[in-house]
Amino acid sequence: MTGLTHLTMAAALDGLAKKEFTAVELTEAHVKAVETIRPLNAFITETPEQALAMAKASDARRAKGEAGPMEGLPIAVKDLFCTKGVLTTAASHILDGFKPEYESTVTSNLWRDGAVMLGKVNLDEFAMGSANITSHHGNVISPWSPGEVGNWSRQIVPGGSSGGSAAAVAARAALGATGTDTGGSIRQPAAFTGIVGIKPTYGRCSRWGVVAFASSLDQAGPMTRTVEDAAIMLRSMCGFDPKDSTSVDMAVPDFRAALTGDIRGLKVGIPKEYRVEGMPAEIAAIWDQGIEWLKQAGAEPVEISLPHTKYALATYYIVAPAEASSNLARYDGLRYGLRVEGASLKDMYENTRGAGFGKEVRRRILIGTYVLSAGYYDAYYNKARQVRTRIKWDFDEAFKQCDVILTPTAPSTAFAIGEKMDDPIQMYLNDVFTVPASLAGLPGMSVPAGVGSDGLPLGLQLLGRPFDEETVLRVGQVIEKAAAVTATPPFMA
């Protein structure tokens, strides 16, 4: 029953409710699909036995009339979420063999609501990257890569850091996947692979049990094939958690109910600073097309200004490494994962961390250590935190004039492995449109909007007021329907 892996979550829930198939059948089809897409290297750990056991339990719950909001839906979990008894690597050598003794709050919420775990998916090491090329467990290949499977003419990147999540969902091996977004790690890979990805407002999803990168920015969210599915999965992931001091104690709305399609009179902000110099014509064109779609649906575009946009990346590349250097101090060769012996305790630390961290992670820890060091703290770290305040103020001002903001998600379509690799700054520029909202803690979503001249997906990004995911989702679905993208990846399970 291969058709089962091509369903949306909403359709799968319907089929399960109508007893057209069971959770076990749905899961078996996906377990097979996970095997089929192995050439993409999307999964670090497959958990077929656990998946089938969870599916069986799900069918039993449904039979008793206790079906949850995601009952029986097979999903993939980014390997940054701690899963009890299941290898959790953060795609780093330094976490070799780490099997958490606890379950992250977000995944607990998903299992509580009936979801089924297919396995743990690949990512950039410690979620640091925009192409899924920094994983200790190898690159992830996008299912959009042209040519013969395994012998592609161009190996296209799925984006990052949630590249395994994006590839698995786009290739129809999972109905959805968890992602995490620190500077764009949900939205950019969603755009690169033609799927939907939403990063909710900072504080909506608990960070407890998620391997930390930059704690003031990290936020989990769903990656799915439709906006409706994103609404279904986001609702299950969110919720107040006393174990995360930045978790917000607010009711979680029924996001699906917000998808009314009615955006008449809504003011859509178009930030003039996002028309960056050298923006490819097709990115500018899809953005204009998005504005047109929303206008046709009765919304009103308004030009807004976010004057500090050009400083967002520089701010991010101080704040995020600073927090990372502090968070990653815990990898000491004593408590978990890799240990490389040395003559003294200090040697053991240095050997373990020297061998355990990849080049990008090392680069960021060193930058972070430098900007936090005596004599540079004010000039770099405090300065960046002040600019961050100004970036937040820009958005506060803008949202006095508009209800939602529309921008492209990424400055280009996906590139191939080997391109943009030499210069870290070039790689960082992938996140130019996603980073500002991360710094301001705002909800942001990427929606598939079309296909570029190279045959690869293009995404549009919607940003909302804090805790107004509902407007973001509602407008996103209007774009999704207007765009009606029918292109699918050449390689699917």
Partner 1 sequence: MSLDKATVAKIAHLARIKVPDDELDHLAGELSQILTFVEQLGEVDTQDVPPMTSVAAQTLRRRKDEVTDGGYRDAVLSNGPETAEGFYVVPKVVE
Residue type at position 28: E
CA-to-CA separations, 483 to 177, 257, 286, 471, in angstroms, rounded: 23, 21, 10, 18
Considering beta carbons, is residue 12 or 361 the nearer one to partner 1? 361
Q: CB 191 → partner 1: shortest distance, Å?
A: 23
Report d(CA 461, CA 290) in Å as an integer.
10
Residue 312 class from Cβ within 10 Å (0-12 exposed, 13-18 middle, 19+ buried)? buried
Residue 150 class from Cβ within 10 Å (0-12 exposed, 13-18 middle, 19+ buried)? exposed
SS3 306: coil
- Are the C-beta atoms of residues 189 and 132 closer than 8 Å to each other? yes
Is 438 among the residues known to form the active site? Answer: no
- Are the C-beta atoms of residues 127 and 214 closer than 8 Å to each other? no
Considering beta carbons, is residue 101 or 151 the nearer one to partner 1? 101
Considering beta carbons, is residue 74 or 337 the nearer one to partner 1? 337
Strand bridging mode 74-78 / 43-46: unpaired
Q: CB 30 → partner 1: shortest distance, Å?
A: 29
Backbone angles phi, psi at 204, to 5 degrees: -70, -45
Q: CB 349 → partner 1: shortest distance, Å?
A: 4
Is 145 among the residues known to form the active site? Answer: no
Neighbours of 354 (CB within 10 A): 11
Query: Rounded to a whole number, what is the largest CA-CA distance in the chain?
Result: 70
Considering beta carbons, is residue 240 or 488 the nearer one to partner 1? 240
Considering beta carbons, is residue 242 or 298 the nearer one to partner 1? 242
Token pair of 301, please?
């575009």
Q: CB 444 → partner 1: shortest distance, Å?
A: 13
Q: CB 366 → partner 1: shortest distance, Å?
A: 5
**Matching residue, tokens 């699918």:** 488
Catalytic residue among 162, 185, 247, 412: 185
Considering beta carbons, is residue 97 or 298 the nearer one to partner 1? 97
Report d(CA 102, CA 327) in Å as an integer.
19
Catalytic residue among 58, 78, 104, 412: 78
Considering beta carbons, is residue 367 or 463 the nearer one to partner 1? 367
Report d(CA 210, CA 125) in Å as an integer.
14
Catalytic residue among 108, 135, 161, 162: 161
Q: CB 240 → partner 1: shortest distance, Å?
A: 10
Residue type at position 347: D
Backbone angles phi, psi at 64, to 5 degrees: -85, 0
Is 310 among the residues known to form the active site? Answer: no
Strand bridging mode 219-224 / 196-199: antiparallel
DSSP β-bridge partners for residue 483: none
Q: CB 103 → partner 1: shortest distance, Å?
A: 13
Token pair of 247, please?
């978790």
Catalytically active residues, by annotation: 78, 161, 185
